[in-house]
Structure 1
Amino acid sequence: MDTASESRIIIPRIKPSCTQCQRSKKRCDRGKPHCSACVRYGRECVYLLRDDSMSVSSVETASLSPAKAPQDSEESPHAVFFLDSVLFRRSMNRLPELELSFKDPLLNFIGDFTSDRDFVHLYFSTLHPSIPFLSKKKFMERILNPLSPPRPASLLLIATMKLLADQRPEQGPRCKAYYSIKSSLLEAESSRSLELRVLQAIILMAVFEVGHAIYPAAYLTVGYCVRYGSALGLHKAVERYSEEGFSVTESEERRRSWWVILVLDRYMNLGCADRAFLTADPSKNSILPIDDAIWEENKEMNAPVRRLFEPPTTAMGRFSLTAQSAILLGNVFRSIHEPPFSEAFWQNDVKVLDSTLVALTSVSLEEGRHRGIGVCSPSTICYSGRLLLHDRERYAVDEFPFAATENFLPQDFKRDIAAGMLRLANAILSSGCCTTDEITPFCVEAIYRGAVFYGREHSRTGNLSDAAACATIKEALNEIGKRWRAATLYAQMIDARIVTGIL
């Protein structure tokens, strides 16, 4: 490099600039610089000396920064994934895998899962039958395989499974393990990774928080599931049998994961029906989960494809019925929120929806008897849906004036539902009849509503048998509370209703 060129780089060049528009400046006839923008708008140029060496220096420093380029490189696949999906699919088509280092508290909680697998057996024998969205065969072969080192996403899934399987945590639900997993899930999000196993861990965390009434965390975690699942494209898995790039088994697992999210999203709003659920209803042609027995045997290729428009049968399996009950629950929410065209139209719509809930309940109860299931989540969700549909207090009086009349709808079914919940309570309290392991978080709300019914009847008539029924159900809720803390809270709310007279 010659001396002249070297001096041009080192010696700063001073240029006048216009502070009105910060543009570079031509020379006018009088030798003063001016800019075209100021001339166009009739402004007088105001000059300021600018040191180009500063801008050159900053640009050179930024371009030579060793940390900036790798950071941009790491973020580009994730940014392209969201900003231009076509470009991503045709050029990259795969996001980087999760890279995460776990802290000692979480690693100590997980332990040596290759030798100590009691929690795995406990999870698959208790919670899994009612929410079977994990492929047990793939889990055992790939995640628990001692020949392959566990990936971070797999460890997160294992940790949440163990948290759910621990039925009596010494420190309560908000234990150190709970906060360690929540922290690791946040770090996984910060790592810019999107993986199905991470989503499944978040789903299990949502089930844990719903079951133990950890609010508002449960509500926010379910919303996180919706967004994460949508980013992975799981909402499309319910619309097609086989997805490009995925085997039949993988598509079924993705499909089931989305159905669990949809069920959680609907169930979350039972206590406060004014909240809008986040997931859109699948189309009538959407594919339901295959029969659970076929899923457990890993024979997806031979399973008949069931679609949402088909009438429910026991051959569909419990989880498929659970998915359908969630769809009907969503219809109930719409029925109590969307103002009808007329009273006659609304009455007919409610009667049709009620009949559909009754039909699905009957199939679910038959499914339970056929497969030896003490209590089925589809039945209790349908019970909750019917009670919500016929609850006058849930309707806005100004939009549904006819809902407040005495001839609203026949109320006899409420006693039938309450009687069913009383029988379930007696079975739970009777040794060996129905264990709390068979109760899922999706069952507890209907049990609570049964107790409220008996409490209201006792307040109205003074009948001692109603008071005894209410006390029995409350006792059963406290027993369930040893497994799911939400049930204990429901029992406390029964006491609050009775003391305050809010029945």
Structure 2
Amino acid sequence: MDTASESRIIIPRLKPSCTQCQRSKKRCDRGKPRCSACMRYGRECIYILRDDSLSLSSVESTPVSPVKTTQESEESFHAVFFLDSVLFRRSMNRLPELELSFQDSLLNYIGDITSDRDFVHSYFSTIHPSMPFLSKKKFTERILNPLSPPRSASTLLIATMKLLADQLPEQGPRCKAYYLIKNSLLEAESSCSLELRVLQAIISMAIFELGHAIYPAAYLTVGYCVRYGSALGLHKAVEHYYEEGFSITESEERRRSWWAILVLDRFINLGCADRAFLMTDPSSNSILPIDDAIWEENREINAPVRRLFEPPTTAMGRFSLTAQSAILLGRVFRSIHEPPFSEAFWQNDVKVLDSTLVALTSVSIEEGRFRGIGVCSPSTICYRYAVDEFPFAATETFIPQDFKRDIANGMLQLADAITSGDCTADEITPFCIEAIYRSAVFFGREHSRTGSLSEATSCAAVKEALNVIGKRWKGASLYAQMIDARVVTGIL
């Protein structure tokens, strides 16, 4: 096939034309087209592709060098954002918004949110109370508002919220919608965009994978949250109450998103304390989330500023206590794995940690009672530390056995409420499942030590509750299987 034929196939209506003389072409010995004038004067033809519909002057004025496309410009913006932040801040200062073309199957999964908002109500009544990193008021006014222009980042967030709010599909958590959203998040990463709404969608995906025990995806997604949040500079919202360029409400939402990531980073390592945390502990002067009630009422401008060094109180709110419990977990693990300066120093450090654990647990339980919350996430997270078999028998030395027993009995009461139907599986968040499982291990250990039939009955009751929760969160069913494995093998 000659060159002219190739040009007609690749770029229709475009034909090669010699820039030297625009004359008709002939062929040289090697089959390449040459115009008659160039052949006569012994010069080489230089061709460009031209459209016959264009005039000669327009062809001659066409630049030969490639023009930078919009995509290339946006890629350059992001390169400067990471390579020279000062230059970026003082020249461009704003990254382009995310623009994606979603598959019809994903849009069909979301549906018409103007008429079908059941999943939104379900999300804010079941998932949101334990991990309130979204501003409900802003979400309603700016994302659900039919007058608001549709944005790709908001569409991704809505999709992950629906995935989290929906009951466990018949095909399991690794359903079609799960993979559609995962692929869309990957496309969002490739689009060179950094937006808070995209990060919040990734956080929601991490909670979904954690609750359904989708590993190692859950662990890797949490790591993705850490890097994405760091790129957005969310750590500044924790250190400074007023962020330049953000309102108080926006700063609080960024701050809560950062704390949500830290909680996920600590919680994802509960089953294996040997893994290193991806996020370092914040300074003692870091700002905690404001009281949840004030946050829901959108009165954050009047909220008192709480710092991490302050002792826990019921006025702080559940999410603030959850953040403090996550910090406590990091310190417990650090006391376990770092070589002590001296045995006496280590003993005193562990005693302080255990005393803090007891105090924080008591406050979180009281906070739950005060606000009418049956299942309080910080108390269940604290319980996980109190009953686990940490090395050096630290908890055996300082935490009273009666304290462990009281909390284990509290988890048993919760298990009974779940199996009886007084507490539905929707009320249980993924952050509570680990503590419920550890209570079963506690009762199993006590049965192995004493041979008491009541301890075995309590262990079986907790296992039954986990199977009920498994209808909502698949991870709970896996925990129930691990109880059987521990009992059979004697690893208690």
- Paired with 1:302 and 1:408, the residues of 2 have a C-alpha distance of 40
Query: Is 2:283 the partner of 1:283?
Result: yes
Deviates most, 458-467 or 169-178: 458-467
Q: How many Å separate the matches in 1 of 2:398 and 2:362?
A: 24
Alignment partner of 1:94: what SS?
A: coil
Q: In the alignment, what sits opposite 1:22? A: none
Q: Give distance in 2, aligned partners of 1:472 and 1:451.
A: 8
Letter in 2 for 1:189: E
Measure the CA separation in 2 of the matches of 1:145 and 1:406. Answer: 54
State the partner residue of 1:416. Answer: 406
Once residues 400 and 326 of structure 2 are traced to their aligned partners in structure 1, the CA distance between those partners, rounded to angstroms, is 24
Q: 1:75: how far off?
A: 1.0
Deviation at 1:454, TM superposition (A): 1.2
Aligned to 1:31: none
Task: Pick closer, same or farther for the CA change 1:104–1:316 going to 2, 3 Å.
Answer: same
| 1:265 maps to 2:254 | no
The match for 1:178 is: 178
SS of the aligned residue for 2:203 comes to helix
What is the aligned counterpart of 2:428 among 439, 459, 462? Answer: 439
CA spacing shift, 1:336–1:475, aligned 2, 3 Å: same
Whole-Å separation in 1 of the counterparts to 2:438 and 2:354: 17
Residues 223-238 of structure 1 correspond to what in structure 2 (within 5 A)?
223-238=223-238
Q: 1:474 aligns with which of 443, 463, 480?
A: 463
1:295-332 CA distance string (max 9 Å, x none): 11111111111111111111111111111110111111
Per-residue CA deviations over 1:5-33 (Å, capped at 9, x if unaligned) read: x9xxxxxxxxxxxxxxxxxxxxxxxxxxx
User: Which structure 2 segments of 5+ residues have no match?
Assistant: 1-19, 21-43, 49-62
| Equivalence for 1:500 | 489
SS in 2 for 1:123: helix
Pairwise CA distance, 1:406 = 8.6
| CA–CA separation in structure 1 for the residues paired with 2:158 and 2:69 | 35
1:70 Cα deviation from its structure 2 partner: 4.9
Shift of 1:341: 2.1
Deviation, structure 1 residue 284: 0.9
Contact 2:126-2:429 within 8 A present in 1 as well: no
Distance 1:336 1:244, change over 3 A: same
RMSD after superposition: 2.0
Aligned-partner SS, 1:238? helix
- Offset of residue 407 of structure 1: 6.1
Matching residue of 2:473: 484
- CA displacement at 1:411 relative to structure 2: 4.1
1:115 aligned to 2:105?
no
> In structure 2, what is the equivalent of residue 295 of structure 1?
295
Structure 1 residue 484: deviation in Å? 1.1
CA separation of 1:135 and 1:70: change in aligned 2, threshold 3 A: closer
1:57-95 Cα shifts (integer Å, max 9, x gaps) = 9xxxxx946476555323111000000000000000000
Residues 162 and 405 of structure 1, relative CA distance in 2, 3 Å threshold: closer
Distance in 1 between residues matched to 2:172 and 2:434, nearest whole Å: 21
In 1, the alpha carbon distance for the partners of 2:126 and 2:399 equals 38
User: Contact 2:229/2:258 (CA < 8 Å) preserved in 1?
Assistant: yes
Q: Distance in 1 between the 2:70 and 2:233 partners? A: 28
What secondary structure, in the 3-state scheme, does the structure 1 residue paired with 2:331 have? helix
1:162: Cα distance to partner?
Answer: 0.3
Residues 130-141 of structure 1 aligned to structure 2 (within 5 Å): 130-141=130-141
CA distance in 1 between partners of 2:199 and 2:398 (Å): 43
- 1:148 deviates by 2.1
For residues 110 and 71 of structure 1, what CA distance do their matches in structure 2 show?
A: 28
Letter in structure 2 aligned against 1:174: R
CA contact under 8 A between 2:368 and 2:375: conserved in structure 1? yes
Query: Normalization by structure 2: what TM-score?
Result: 0.85
C-alpha spacing 1:105/1:424, structure 2 compared with 1 (3 Å): same
Q: Superposition pairs for residues 18-417 of structure 1, below 5 Å? A: 64=64, 66=66, 70-388=70-388, 391=389, 394-395=390-391, 403=393, 411-417=401-407
Task: Tell me the amino acid that sits aligned with residue 421 of structure 2.
Answer: S
Identity in percent: 83
Q: Distance in 1 between matches of 2:216 and 2:137?
A: 34
Q: Could you say which residue in structure 2 is the equivalent of 1:428?
A: 418
What amino acid does structure 2 have at the position aligned with 1:271?
G
Q: How far apart are residue 416 of structure 1 and its match?
A: 2.7
What residue identity is the alignment partner of 1:413?
Answer: F
Aligned amino acid, residue 423 of structure 1:
Q
How far off its partner does 1:431 sit? 2.6
Cα-to-partner distance string for 1:399-419 (whole Å, 9 max, x where unaligned): x6xx59996875443333322
- 1-side partners of 2:342 and 2:149: how far apart? 63
For the residue of structure 1 that corresponds to 2:183, the secondary structure is helix
Q: Distance in 1 between matches of 2:395 and 2:434?
A: 26
Structure 2 Cα separation of the partners of residues 387 and 460 of structure 1: 15
Q: Distance in 2 between matches of 1:406 and 1:350?
A: 11
- TM-fit CA distance, 1:251: 0.3
**Which residue of the partner structure matches residue 30 of structure 2?**
none
State the AA in 2 paired with 1:489.
Answer: L
Q: 1:67 to 1:210 in 2, by over 3 A?
A: farther
Distance in 1 (alpha carbons) for counterparts of 2:353 and 2:87: 45
* 1:97 partner amino acid: E
Number of aligned pairs? Answer: 433
Corresponding letter in the other structure for 1:298:
N
CA distance in 1, matches of 2:426, 2:226: 27
SS across alignment from 1:357: helix
Change (3 A) 1:156 1:409: closer
User: TM-score, normalized by length of structure 1?
Assistant: 0.83
SS of the residue aligned with 1:351?
A: helix
